[in-house]
Amino acid sequence: MTKMASQQVSKSANQQSAALARQPNGLSEGEIAALIAAAAAVRERAYAPYSRFSVGAALRAADGRLFAGCNVENASYGLTICAERNAIAQAIAAGTRDFTAVAVVSENGVTPCGACRQVLVEFGPGMMVIVVDIRGRRRIYTLAELLLDAFGPRQLPGD
Ligand SMILES: [Zn+2]
């Protein structure tokens, strides 16, 4: 291993331990557990016959309500919708647009894809992102960490 590669591994490990130690602002362990449970439950309803990669996402709104979504694939692959964006759509349809956290449960605890990060930042640039694998191992990020210096509504000229 080169010195540079060694440093990169070390930095990555430090970032991961920082992510593990962080707690979402104002959320109790019980509230976090409920959010993760909602994401895990909806993951069971994922429609993923092509990738066989089921994902569940649950958003916590500022008023405490939870909204869940799973991935929905399509034989026309490009029409697949991710769990995170489905959860956003559920919440918007219910009249909620302000979120404090999202939990994403998958087999190996993946982070939201780029498209979902952009959609999430539209409604909650300060939200926490809790990624969890099926063994319950979790990492916690801020959305700003996952989508640094994001483009969003504030960049559009107002009147
Ligand atoms: Zn996505």
Q: What is the CATH number of the domain that holds 100?
A: 3.40.140.10
Burial of 9 (0-12, 13-18, 19+ CB in 10 A): exposed
Distance from residue 33's CA to the centre of ligand 1 (Å): 22
**Number of structural domains found in the chain:** 1
Residue whose structure tokens are 């919440």: 91
CA torsion, points 134, 27, 61, 46, in degrees to nearest 10?
Answer: 0
pTM score of the predicted model: 0.84
Task: List beta partners, residue 68.
Answer: 58
Distance from residue 87's CA to the centre of ligand 1 (Å): 11
| Residue 123 covered by a domain | yes
Distance from residue 85's CA to the centre of ligand 1 (Å): 7
pLDDT one-digit tens code per residue, 71-123:
999 999 999 999 999 999 999 999 999 999 999 999 999 999 999 999 999 99
Give me the domain span that covers residue 101.
Answer: 23-150
Task: Please confirm, yes or no, whether 84 is among the known catalytic residues.
Answer: yes
